[in-house]
């Protein structure tokens, strides 16, 4: 609307209507990786924003067709390195369902505990980086300080701090000790007051609200057209969460709320993720309280061979619905592996949603989508 008023005023004044092309990226802090966006500008306003991905394409799908099911496990955590646990969770679930493998209850509980810790860690990275995009540096330091505590916990059981390969077909590679469980309980007790502090320091800050409220409107219909999921569609008023609509693992046994905000603006997507951290803390707390004794790895054949067929599995990752479709011809190597990643779909709506926006507001919109570029260039 503002762009139309400016163009009308220029036409009335007899000013020439000129446009120019501006490259955002592929080396730009606001794109959080080597993503290029080709912007056609009319002064400060965006006429068209054309995302140009592909700068770091790593051929994960093709790699999955050139190694056996077990050898592809480490690849899954490198697709979205900030939500690594949930990506591996999707792959092991697919193989276990197709092969009929039973997973011990203790392993399922530990999978949810570690996945939800990883979700909080991912949201903390988004929180700090998003505010840095908007010009605020201090919250980044707080967020990464809290994230380090999660990384310490996950490192104690997985041996890694970023890309994990902790899950196995039929369970986990090793059990957790009491130090991990007590440390996780302490983290839950520590993190809740920190979320209150974030609310006072950032969320209720009038400068942030003026910067985000009413900016980057995305409604539910636009999300459906482009396949956007996760906090993007829940920030548009649609309560779509794979953990609810297609339950898996032990999520049906846990009491949690799916945060939904109907406004569809940058602030709504921000609030969804802040609420999700609180809900993840609730799930971790419940899972630890209900954690059963027993083994963490079931009986698994030495060589995995799925029966010939077409298989599909989806999970709720930090950025939305991550799904894997695998076609097996009965051999130990997948015939076809297709990855459905949330960042690619969420980025797809940026061109339409950013039309007519001013450039600083478009950067706020992009940051609210929480893009991970390797997830796009998979």
Other C-beta atoms closer than 10 Å to the C-beta of 179 total: 11
> What's the CA angle centered on 111, arms 107 and 116, to 5 degrees?
155
- pLDDT for residue 165 is more than 70: yes
Q: How far apart are CA 66 and CA 232, in angstroms?
A: 34
Furthest C-alpha separation in the chain = 79
Q: Kindly report, residue by residue over 167-187, the tens digit of the pLDDT.
A: 999 999 999 999 999 999 999
**Domains of the chain: residue spans and CATH:** 60-343 (1.10.645.10)
For the stretch 272-295, pLDDT in tens is 999 999 999 999 999 999 999 999
Average confidence (pLDDT) over 1-28: 67
Q: Which residues have CB under 8 Å from 336's CB, separation 6+?
A: 65, 325, 326, 327
H/E element, 355? none
Cα 222 to Cα 227: distance, rounded to the nearest angstrom: 8
Listed residue (156, 78, 64, 76) closest to 117, CA to CA: 156
Instruction: Compute CA distances 165 → 113, 271, 288, whole Å.
Output: 15, 31, 21
Token representation of residue 67: 């190694």
**Predicted local distance difference test score (pLDDT) of residue 5:** 52
At 128-150, the pLDDT tens digits run: 999 999 989 999 999 999 999 99
Taking 50 as the threshold, does the pLDDT of residue 121 lie above it? yes
- Give residue-wise pLDDT tens across range 38-69: 999 999 999 999 999 988 888 999 999 999 99
CA quadruple 72, 277, 186, 162: dihedral, nearest 10: 30
- How far is residue 129's CA from residue 115's CA, in Å, rounded to a whole number? 21
Name the CA radius of gyration of the chain, rounded: 22
- Rounded Cα distance, 82 and 341, in Å: 13
- pLDDT number for residue 31: 81
Threshold 0.75, pTM exceeds: yes
| pLDDT single digits (tens) 98-115 | 999 999 999 999 999 999
Q: What is the mean pLDDT of residues 249-260?
A: 97
pLDDT at 109: 98
Q: What is the DSSP annotation of 292-327?
A: PPS-SB----SS--PPSEEEEEEEEETTEEEEEEEE
Residue 378 is classified by DSSP as -
Task: Give 27's contacts (C-beta < 8 A, 6+ positions apart).
Answer: 34
Question: Which pLDDT band, with edges at 50, 70 and 90, does 27 fall under?
Answer: confident
Grade residue 16 by pLDDT with cuts at 50, 70 and 90.
low
């Amino acid at each position: 609307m503002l762009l139309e008023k400016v163009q009308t005023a220029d036409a009335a004044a007899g000013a020439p209507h000129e446009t120019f092309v501006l490259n955002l990226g592929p080396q730009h802090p606001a794109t959080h990786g080597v993503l290029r966006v080709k912007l056609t500008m009319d002064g400060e306003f965006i006429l068209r924003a054309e995302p140009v991905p592909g700068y770091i394409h790593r051929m994960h799908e093709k790699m999955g067709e050139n190694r056996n099911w077990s050898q592809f496990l480490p690849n899954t955590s490198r697709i979205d390195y900030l939500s690594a646990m949930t990506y591996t969770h999707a792959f092991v679930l697919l193989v276990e369902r197709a092969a009929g493998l039973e997973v011990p209850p203790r392993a399922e509980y530990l999978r949810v505990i570690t996945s939800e810790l990883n979700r909080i860690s991912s949201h903390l990275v988004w929180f700090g980086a998003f505010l840095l995009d908007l010009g605020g540096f201090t919250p980044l330091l707080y967020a990464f300080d809290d994230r380090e505590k999660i990384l310490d916990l996950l490192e104690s059981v997985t041996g890694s701090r970023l890309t994990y390969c902790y899950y196995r077909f039929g369970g986990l590679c090793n059990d957790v000790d009491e130090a991990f469980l007590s440390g996780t309980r302490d983290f839950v007790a520590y993190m809740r007051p920190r979320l209150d502090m974030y609310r006072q320091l950032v969320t209720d800050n009038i400068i942030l609200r003026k910067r985000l409220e009413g900016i980057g409107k995305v409604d539910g219909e636009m999300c459906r057209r482009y396949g956007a999921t996760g906090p993007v569609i829940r920030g548009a008023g649609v309560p779509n969460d794979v953990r609810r609509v297609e339950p898996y693992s032990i999520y049906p046994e846990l009491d949690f709320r799916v945060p939904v905000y109907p406004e569809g603006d940058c602030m709504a997507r921000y609030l969804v993720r802040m609420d999700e951290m609180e809900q993840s803390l609730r799930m971790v707390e419940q899972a630890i309280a209900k954690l059963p004794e027993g083994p963490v790895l079931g009986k698994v054949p030495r060589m995995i061979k799925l029966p010939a067929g077409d298989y599909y599995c989806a999970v709720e990752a930090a950025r939305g619905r991550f799904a894997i479709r695998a076609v097996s011809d009965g051999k130990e190597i997948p015939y076809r592996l297709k990855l459905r990643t949330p960042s690619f779909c969420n980025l797809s709506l940026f061109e339409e949603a950013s039309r007519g926006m001013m450039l600083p507001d478009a950067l706020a919109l992009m940051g609210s989508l929480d893009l991970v570029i390797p997830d796009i260039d998979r």
